[in-house]
Structures are given as structure tokens and as C-alpha cells.
Amino acid sequence: MKSLIENFPNQLREAIAIGEKAKLTPAKRKISNLFISGLGGSGIGGTIVSELVALEAIVPITVGKGYFIPKFVNENTLVIISSYSGNTEETLQAMNLAIRRKAKMVCVSSGGQVAEIARKKKLDTIVIPGGNPPRSCLGYSFTQLLFILGFHKIISNKFKGQLKASIELIENEKKNIISEANSVTEKLFGKTPMIYATTYFEGVAIRFRQQINENAKLLCGHHVIPEMNHNELVGWASGSERVAVVIFRDKDEYARNNARIEINKEVIKKYTPNITEIWSKGKSQIEKAIYFIHLGDWISVLLAEKRGVDPIEVKVIDMLKGQLSKL
């Protein structure tokens, strides 16, 4: 897993090249909304992208992480099917439902049943390299989503320069990223992590939580500011020193959110001294997100090493899929 994380900048480069060469076709009808279907490591890219482009996208974006699709999906909907293996059970059902609704569809996959169905139905498909854990290939799916949105003019093409700037950023910051990852790992070791971020970086917080879940084999929580100020902040009355808080901070954050974070810290300090802030680097939202993602990935794998667990192994998920296949 560590080598895959180290290769993240090159993965992004390859993903850009794949996106540039993708053979997509224009929608026959005007696109009125967008639905992205994907789960786990294949689906988190949709969550992150939907937030990063929320203030720019010209149509509403909904992300689905289950078997079904919203009623609004129709011939005017762009549906993106994201399944790294191409065999994700829930996504396959959502795909078939979208086909019945005659939605404009684009599939992102390394193969499997998704690619086979797409070939038979003559759906637009972007093929990405397979053979690795889906969560280690976020760079591929994340990037293709941006290219698809750009092609259909849902967002502008400025993301291309921002992706390239992101690669340069994490390469230039490599030593600092690993150093900070080691520092944060020490603070999280032996604790239950709780991750906080503001609204448009919630997907990044979810990604970090998922990486800690799968790589470090730890339970981990997350919440978003300001929403947590309306519920979870009260729950800190039962907090303890066994909880370690990580807050994603952004120097360009909305002032009211910054004020909330500072007040939150004062409340949380009454129950645990373990509060760590991770500050963004980069200019655009995409650069900041990729920086956070890469740093979080490093923390998760270093935490796995410190705990003496294999970051690749996910036997319990394999067991679940095996049991479901028998039903």
C-alpha cells in the first residue's frame, strides 16, 4: 500500500492522459441533472468532486451509494457509473435501472460486468488500470469524473491546470507531507480518531475516515462544520481522552466557519487534549483536496504500520461478499 501511495502523483498524471484521450459522445438532450453511482473506494471520488464543483456546476449533482436511483433520473440525466472492479453489486443494479430510464450514461471502470454491459449497450466508457485495491486508485476515478463534467460543459476546463498544479504541489511537499503524517500518526496511535471538516471538504474527511477504517483497521468518526454545531457538539459531554480529534483547516475558509472551529476547540478541550489541525496547501479547491487526501493516505498507512496490521487486507469485506453471493 505504501508504494501505491508514493505513486499517487504518477497515478494522477496517467489519469489526466486517460481523460484527455477519452472518447465521449455529446448528450442528445439537454442535461438537467447529474447522478453519480459508486461505493467505497470507487464512490468516494463522486462525493469529493460533487462538493468541489458545487459552486460552479450548472446542474445539480446527486451521489448515490446504494442499489437504487432517484425518481428524477430520466433521459435528461447524465448518469456516471463508477466501479473500479466493474462488479460492484449495488452499482450494477443502479446501472441497469438507469439504462431502463434511458439516461445519458458514462461508465468508469477497469473491466468486469460494468464494461461488458457498457459494450453491449454501446455506452460511453473510460477504462482505467485495474489490479489494485479500489481505494488506492482514487486518482483515476476522481480525475475521470472531472473530465466527464468538463466534456459535458457542467464545469469549465480550468480543472486541468488545477490537477497539474496539484501534482506539482504534492511532489514539492513530499518531505513535509511524510513528516506531518508521522507526527499526526503518533497523536492518533492508541486513540479513536474523530475527523472534522467544513462543508465543501466533507468528502475529504470521509476519505480519511475510510482509509483509517480499511488501512489501519480502526473505527473512526467524522462530522462536518457547521452541521455538527447543531448536534454533535452537545455529545462531547461524554467525550474522553481516548478520542483524538483531527480538524482539516483552510486558510481561505469562510470567516464564520473559522469562528465556529475556534469555539468548538474550546469546548472539546474540556474533554480531550488531543486536538490536531491539518492546514491546506495550494490555491484551488482541487489542489487543497488532493493535498489533504495524500496526507491522509500517508497517515492511514503509517498508522497501520504502527499498529502492526496489513493495510491491504480486507478479509471481512471479502467474507461479506462471499456470503452475499450464496444468497
CA 156 to CA 53: how far, in whole Å? 10
- Phi first, then psi: what are they for 173, rounded to 5°? -95, 10
46, 200 Cβ separation under 8 angstroms: no
Task: Indicate the SS3 state at residue 250.
Answer: coil
- Cell numbers 500500500 correspond to 1
CA 215 to CA 212: how far, in whole Å? 5
Closest CA to 287 of 196, 170, 142: 170
6, 51 Cβ separation under 8 angstroms: no
- pLDDT score of 163: 98
| Positions of CATH 3.40.50.10490 in the chain | 2-157, 165-307
Q: Averaged in consecutive runs of 10 residues, what is the pLDDT profile of the chain (327 residues)? A: 94 98 97 97 95 97 97 98 96 98 98 97 96 92 98 98 98 98 98 97 98 98 98 95 97 97 97 97 98 98 98 94 92
Q: Which residues are catalytic?
A: 214, 230, 321
With residue 273 as reference, give the H or E element that holds it.
none
CB atoms within 10 A of CB 313: 15
Q: Beta strands 104-109 and 77-83: pairing type? A: parallel
Closest CA to 124 of 2, 8, 22, 199: 22
Q: What is the CATH number of domain 2-157?
A: 3.40.50.10490
CATH number of 165-307, picked from 3.20.20.70, 3.40.50.10490, 3.40.50.300, 3.40.190.10 = 3.40.50.10490
- pLDDT score of 239: 86
CA 265 to CA 235: how far, in whole Å? 14
- pLDDT score of 99: 98
- pLDDT score of 287: 98
CA distance to 97, 125, 239, per residue, from 74 (Å): 10, 19, 46
- Cell numbers 476515478 correspond to 141
DSSP character string of 51-105: HHTTTT-SS-EEEE-SS---TT-STTEEEEEEESSS--HHHHHHHHHHHHTT-EE
CA 137 to CA 246: how far, in whole Å? 24
With residue 307 as reference, give the H or E element that holds it.
helix 285-307
